[in-house]
Amino acid sequence: MRLKKGILIVIEGIDGSGKTTQAQILLDKLKIWGYSVVYFREPSRGKWGREIREKAVLQDSLSPEQELQLFQKDRKENVEKNLKPALKKKQIVILDRYYFSTIAYQGVKGIDPERIREMNEAFVIKPDLVFILDIDASKGLERVENSRKKRDMLFEREDYLNEVRKVFRSFEGKNIFHLDGKRSKEEISEQIDRIVLDYLESLKN
């Protein structure tokens, strides 16, 4: 199904919120519905994204400023190499994490959230829809523990994630939707489907 323009859909939330699961479900459904759709994530699979994941298994291996700079490099590469080309082809792009995560995670570590926002909004592509899955940090960590053999020590600490969650809950905007991450994946998916399909329908008018 041909669109008039490319569409960027971002799915956010703390680790264990179910965002990657929902991104994959939405990807599969959009394909079934006949749309040209691609999936990307942050950290990306590029050079800087690989470095972030390598460092993430060691607690306090990077200062907050070093983390921020790595994420900025990775995001700039992701925007230029992945997002812009896909959107130019009028595809739907599903992005698992974006600069909202940087504002939340690095902001809680003491970097001015407004500075992070301004740094990113100077070069990012603004998303059309943002879904933020909200879940208690303890529940998120429980899910992570059940699905991984080792934790990403840079980010997965309960007290820290509770503060990150507060930042995610503070984001507002007409295109930002907060969803209850405790609900079943089917219920969350149905909510996302309705919002995405309504948005796609609005583009036809």
pLDDT tens for the 205 residues of the chain, in order: 789 899 999 999 998 899 999 999 999 999 999 999 999 999 999 999 999 888 776 666 788 899 999 999 999 999 999 999 999 999 999 999 999 999 999 999 999 999 999 999 999 999 999 999 999 887 777 777 665 544 454 455 888 899 999 999 999 999 999 999 999 999 999 999 999 999 999 988 6
Q: Show the tokens assigned to 82.
A: 């992945």
User: Are 42 and 125 within 8 A, CB to CB?
Assistant: no
In-domain check, residue 1: no
Residue 92 maps to a domain: yes
Per the CB < 8 A criterion, the answer to whether 6 and 92 are in contact is yes
What is the span of the domain harbouring residue 164?
7-202
- In-domain check, residue 124: yes
Residue 115 lies in a domain: yes
- For residue 130, give the 3-state DSSP assignment: strand
Nearest CA-CA partner of 88 in 165, 157, 21, 36: 36
Residue at 11 is within a domain: yes
Q: 75 lies in a domain?
A: yes
The SS3 of residue 150 is coil
Identify whether 172 is part of a domain. yes
Q: pTM for the whole thing?
A: 0.91
Could you tell me the sign of the dihedral formed by the alpha carbons of 181, 186, 187, 188, in that order? positive
How would DSSP label each residue in 93-124?
EEEES-HHHHHHHHHHTTS-HHHHHHHHHTTS
| Overall number of domains in the chain | 1
Closest by CA position to 197, among listed 49, 40, 9: 9
Does residue 149 lie within any of the structural domains? yes
The domain that holds 143 is classified in CATH as 3.40.50.300
The Cα–Cα gap between 202 and 84 comes to: 23
The Cα 83–Cα 46 span in angstroms is 13
